[in-house]
Amino acid sequence: MHMSSLTGVNSYDLVSTMQELGIIKYWKGKHIILRKQDLLEEHREKMEKRKGERRLIDPTCLRWRPYQAPNPPPSNS
């Protein structure tokens, strides 16, 4: 999934979150993102109310590395 590579978020997590929010459906073998105007408006309103509440983050304090799964234990074969 292209969104996964852009965000660094696991594809399964993206899909399950969007399904929970009701903004994605599975149709003809593909996941389709729905553009629900009411959800977009609700989100915009929430963001407007929160404008003054934003916290400043010092970008020099952020350290991000892609997740690396641990190596599986060697087999005894």
Q: Residue 61: its pLDDT value, please? A: 92
1 compared with 16, residue with greater pLDDT? 16
- Confirm whether 29 is domain-assigned: yes
Per the CB < 8 A criterion, the answer to whether 21 and 13 are in contact is no
Number of domains in the chain: 1
- Confirm whether 65 is domain-assigned: no
Q: Residue 77: its pLDDT value, please? A: 60
10 Å Cβ neighbour count for 23? 15
- Confirm whether 25 is domain-assigned: yes
Model confidence, pTM: 0.47
Domain interval for residue 17:
1-39
Q: Residue 52: its pLDDT value, please? A: 76
Q: How far apart are the C-alpha atoms of 30 and 28, rounded to whole Å?
A: 6
- Confirm whether 67 is domain-assigned: no
CATH number assigned to the domain comprising residue 26: 1.10.10.10
- Confirm whether 4 is domain-assigned: yes
Per the CB < 8 A criterion, the answer to whether 7 and 64 are in contact is no
Q: What is the pLDDT of residues 14-54, one digit of tens each?
A: 888 888 888 888 889 888 888 888 888 888 888 888 877 77
Q: What is the pLDDT of residues 54-69, one digit of tens each?
A: 778 899 998 888 878 7
